[in-house]
């Protein structure tokens, strides 16, 4: 993965990658590969805060893509349901937009390991004016599948 001054360190450490951006369905699929650093219980169980981070990141990146990087997403709230424990292995997040307006978006996401749903989230997101370049395409989204 190439390093960018715009790429947060946690994304690099988790080997984050945007796999698919579906503009038609307003969904985003993203992978993470957390290691034992993100786990407790002798490095076997993903810590809940990092599960939340993966869900939140997938929802935020979806919003950034949909607003063409003209606004920055700020989480107002993130509600997470932990359904099963996860471990240090490949993790897939699927985010979707429930509704997006001029200043607020509502999103949800599911997190999977080995096709097992381990957590879900929903979020209210404030859209703040902040135009930037699309750094996702140059870093964690360089191999993304785009659906329009």
d(CA 49, CA 30): 18
- Measuring CA to CA, which residue among 87, 86, 79, 45 is closest to residue 59? 79
Tens digit of pLDDT for each residue in 65-113? 999 999 999 999 999 999 999 999 999 999 999 999 999 999 999 999 9
Contact (Cβ atoms closer than 8 angstroms) between residue 62 and residue 27: yes
Where are the chain's structural domains? 9-134
d(CA 121, CA 130): 25
d(CA 8, CA 5): 8
- Measuring CA to CA, which residue among 120, 147, 145 is closest to residue 18? 145
Beta-sheet pairing, 17-22 with 116-129: unpaired
Give strand pairing partners of 125: 75, 105
- pTM to 2 decimal places: 0.92
Please give the radius of gyration of the chain, using alpha carbons only, rounded to the nearest integer.
15
Class of CATH domain 9-134: alpha beta
- Measuring CA to CA, which residue among 33, 28, 56 is closest to residue 145? 28
For a pLDDT cut of 90, what percent of the chain falls above it? 82
d(CA 55, CA 95): 8
Give strand pairing partners of 89: none
Tens digit of pLDDT for each residue in 46-70? 999 999 999 999 999 999 999 999 9
Contact (Cβ atoms closer than 8 angstroms) between residue 107 and residue 122: yes
């Amino acid at each position: 993965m190439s390093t960018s001054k715009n790429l947060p360190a946690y994304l690099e450490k988790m080997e984050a990658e945007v796999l698919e951006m579906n503009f038609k369905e307003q969904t985003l699929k993203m992978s993470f590969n957390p290691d034992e650093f993100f786990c407790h219980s002798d490095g076997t169980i993903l810590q809940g805060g990092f599960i939340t981070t993966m869900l939140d990141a997938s929802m935020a990146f979806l919003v950034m893509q949909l607003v063409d990087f003209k606004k920055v997403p700020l989480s107002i709230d993130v509600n997470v349901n932990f359904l099963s424990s996860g471990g240090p292995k490949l993790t897939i997040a699927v985010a979707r937009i429930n509704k997006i307006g001029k200043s607020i978006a509502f999103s949800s996401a599911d997190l999977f390991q080995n096709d097992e749903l381990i957590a879900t989230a929903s979020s209210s997101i404030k859209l703040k004016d902040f135009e930037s370049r699309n750094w996702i395409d140059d870093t964690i989204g360089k191999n993304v599948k785009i659906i329009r």
